Amino acid sequence: MGFEITADDLKVFLEEADEQIQLLEEDILKLEQAGDDEQLLQGIFRAAHTLKGSSATLGHQRMADLTHKMENVLDKLRKRQLAINSHIVNVMFKCLDILRILKEEIATGQAKDIDMYGVLDDLQGIVAEGGGAQMAAGSEPEIQARGQDLDPLILGLVSASIAGGKKVYDLRFNIDSTSAMPSVRAFQVLLSLGDAGEVVFSQPSQSEIEEEKVGLDVRILLATLEEAQAVKEIASSVSEVFLSGMREIQLPAAPVEPELSPERPEAVGQTAAASAAKAAAAASAAKKSSRTVRVDVEVLDNLMNLVGELVIDRGRLTQIAGTLSQQDGGDLAQDLSRTSSHIGRVTTDLQEEIMRARMQPVDNLFKKFPRMIRDLAQSFNKEIDLIIRGEETELDRSVIEEIGDPLMHLLRNAIDHGIEYPAERRAAGKSQRGQVLLEASHEENSIVITVRDDGQGINFHKLKAKALEKGLISEEHSRRMDEHDVLNLIFAPGFSTVDKVSEISGRGVGMDVVRSNIERLNGSIEINTEAGKGTEFRIKLPLTLAIIQALLVDFAGNTFCIPLTSVLETIHVTPSEINTIKNTEVIVVRGRVLPLIRMRREFGLEAEEKKRDRFPVVIVTLGPRQYGLAVDSLVGEQEVVIKSLGKFIGEVAGISGATILGDGSISLIIDLPSLLENIGK
């Protein structure tokens, strides 16, 4: 399948759709909690309307249909003909899920097989229900016939027209969804009706129509001296536009002259003030949005690379200036060294700014969770409040992308295993509603993300028993384990304490995957738990993936970087200190037996080593295990900018990327998780 749209437009559409869907999800969730909120409702309606408009423009019929039906429901909510309830929220969420799939369909150009009928029926049912409920209170047509759904200012115009002896008709139009130029059609309708009378109000407004901001629905209020039949004929004269509804507005009572009523001016004043405030808010929003631009991440990456080049040149320039001033020492040499040091400062600032441009608030990620928590809590019959803090904390966007899945898993666990059922909580003297906290904060040069629940905590005995049963530890080993060791069992591959396999935990993703994902980001994870009080997971992440602190080591004539977060210490070892267990070389460091990995051999680089009395060993930690890496020599610590090896080389076991050192040479960065994957297990 294909759409007649340029790739750039498509990208814009997809990004916009993403935003609107996310916005809808957040706001619907808020609405469920708030019950009724005018502003939220308007926002939700607008987002759905935008989606409908753009999907229709794109020619995606199913998306347009679905959003149109959603809009119907939202319209009823907005007009207070329906009250929000969890059924409506569930159906709306289902719609959003389908919209996401449809969006994917547009992105990939591959039709997805999804059944939309169920959800369309649900929407229809909700609308019908709303209509039914409304009958008792006063039907929709009646409200509209009285113009009660109109803005007071418009209502004033309507009543003035009626007072002037004109008739005011409320006309509704549908523009054919296949129309190539809906805005032109809408404009034609406006023009032809304008000839017959005065257009009091139109939705979209004339200026919106001129800017082509047109959906498929048009509403026009026409004040005219013509009879209904004549108006109907004019209204039906534009091709591709169908008159879907028409009624005369009859105001219930004669319009009250403002001067005669003491309350009236005040009311008008309030309305004016309110609309002025609204306009101001809209203006400031517009101003704010115009101060930001969308930038492709690739552009940022390129900028980062270019700055990298500058950094290297800056080094050279300083060197040249130094040499020159030694040889010459004249004014020119001094000039050069001043200029080069200025370039140095500017480059550093530039680098920082670009790093900042890559940072995003974690909010972008966190806001995806409330919906998930709500759905999960519902399906588990648990009552849970999600508290989010520190969502303004900024992280490199690549870290944000990678941390989503691990966090989702931790939150799922908190709900599935952590928080008890309401009855259990009451019995334990806790509040019936469980609390899950998701918090981001700064800590030195890292970001800490905390997931904490006030549930039952982790049961050490149960954990140990399970590990024994699964054969992950031996009876003897289990006796020697302290609490910390036991807790770490959670991260062992193939471990799961679920007694019954639920829909949620049956996904085959374990805590081991969570930990390895975090370690791949050069981060770490820590658990704290207290029986009956709850469990806390603390994830520590680097601010950015682009720059790390590294320990530089040499072997086989090359310099390699080892991420400093994983380095415990460096020691020197003599050949006599090396023992062999089951064909694996080991060393004993502070009473612990560690596998010794000879890096030359591991990487297949000149396996022949010089016979030496002592050689340096870097002790690294990965999860619960420690390893010793034998290298030729230690170089030192340095901050390095990580660069990818590129798509051509692809993933290489043991190497996560490369960096360019001050002298312009390339140093490879060692990836401990993939290097140590098959060792010592």
How many whole angstroms separate alpha carbon 638 and alpha carbon 404? 29
- In the complex with another protein, which residue's Cβ is closer, 352 or 606? 606
Instruction: Give the nearest distance from C-beta 247 to another protein in angstroms.
Output: 57
Please pick, among 25, 26, 49, 522, the residue that the annotation labels catalytic.
49
Q: Which of 342, 539, 311, 384 minimizes the C-alpha distance to 446? A: 539
How many whole angstroms separate alpha carbon 63 and alpha carbon 499? 41
Instruction: Give the nearest distance from C-beta 644 to another protein in angstroms.
Output: 7
Active site includes 417?
Answer: no
How many whole angstroms separate alpha carbon 548 and alpha carbon 522? 9
Interacting residues of 273 by C-beta distance below 8 A, sequence separation 6+: none
CA terminus-to-terminus distance, the chain: 49
- In the complex with another protein, which residue's Cβ is closer, 307 or 376? 307
Sketch the per residue contact string, 522 through 561, with another protein: x for CB under 8 A, - otherwise.
Answer: ------------------------------------x---
* Residue 4 main-chain phi, psi, to 5 deg: -85, 80
Angle of the 117-137 helix axis to the 61-78 helix axis, nearest 10: 20
What distances in angstroms separate CA 433 from CA 85, 87, 382, 416, one per listed residue? 20, 21, 8, 14
Instruction: Give the nearest distance from C-beta 512 to another protein in angstroms.
Output: 24
Instruction: Give the nearest distance from C-beta 311 to another protein in angstroms.
Output: 8
Among 272, 297, 346, 666, binds another protein (CB under 8 A): 666
Q: Any contact of residue 339 with another protein (CB under 8 A)?
A: no
Instruction: Give the nearest distance from C-beta 323 to another protein in angstroms.
Output: 22
- In the complex with another protein, which residue's Cβ is closer, 68 or 600? 600
Q: Any contact of residue 644 with another protein (CB under 8 A)?
A: yes
Q: Any contact of residue 679 with another protein (CB under 8 A)?
A: no
- In the complex with another protein, which residue's Cβ is closer, 258 or 664? 664
Q: Any contact of residue 655 with another protein (CB under 8 A)?
A: yes
Among 275, 649, 662, 677, binds another protein (CB under 8 A): 649
- Give the binding range for another protein (CB under 8 A) out of 2-10, 66-74, 261-269, 637-645: 637-645
HSE at residue 595, side-chain half, CA atoms within 13 A, is 19
Q: Any contact of residue 160 with another protein (CB under 8 A)?
A: no
Q: Any contact of residue 306 with another protein (CB under 8 A)?
A: yes
Active site includes 342?
Answer: no
- In the complex with another protein, which residue's Cβ is closer, 387 or 653? 653
- CA 240, 244, 248, 251 dihedral sign is negative
Active site includes 477?
Answer: no
> Which letter does DSSP use for residue 417 in this model?
I
Q: State which amino acid sits at residue 349.
A: D
- In the complex with another protein, which residue's Cβ is closer, 308 or 623? 308
- In the complex with another protein, which residue's Cβ is closer, 66 or 668? 668
> Which letter does DSSP use for residue 418 in this model?
I
How many whole angstroms separate alpha carbon 276 and alpha carbon 270? 10
Instruction: Give the nearest distance from C-beta 655 to another protein in angstroms.
Output: 6
Residues in the chain: 681
Among 143, 312, 324, 634, binds another protein (CB under 8 A): 312
Among 277, 299, 652, 679, binds another protein (CB under 8 A): 652
What is the 3 state secondary structure string of 579-643? EEECCEEEEEECCEEEEEEEHHHHCCCCCCCCCCCCEEEEEEEECCEEEEEECCEEEEEEEEECE
Q: State which amino acid sits at residue 456.
A: Q
How many whole angstroms separate alpha carbon 511 and alpha carbon 496? 8
Among 508, 648, 678, 681, binds another protein (CB under 8 A): 648
* Residue 560 main-chain phi, psi, to 5 deg: -120, 155
Q: Any contact of residue 295 with another protein (CB under 8 A)?
A: no
Count of residues near another protein by CB under 8 A? 31
Among 77, 630, 658, 672, binds another protein (CB under 8 A): 658
Tokens 């990327």 locate to: 657
Sketch the per residue contact string, 576 through 605, with another protein: x for CB under 8 A, - otherwise.
Answer: ---------------------------xxx
Q: Any contact of residue 319 with another protein (CB under 8 A)?
A: no
Two structure tokens written together for 571: 């020691």
- Give the binding range for another protein (CB under 8 A) out of 16-24, 223-231, 395-403, 663-671: 663-671
Two structure tokens written together for 266: 């005040």
How many whole angstroms separate alpha carbon 424 and alpha carbon 236? 65
Please pick, among 25, 60, 68, 71, the residue that the annotation labels catalytic.
71
Kindly give the pairing relationship between strand 558-563 and strand 666-670.
parallel
Active site residues: 49, 71, 413
Residues binding another protein (CB under 8 A): 305-306, 308-312, 558, 603-605, 643-650, 652-655, 657-658, 660, 664-668
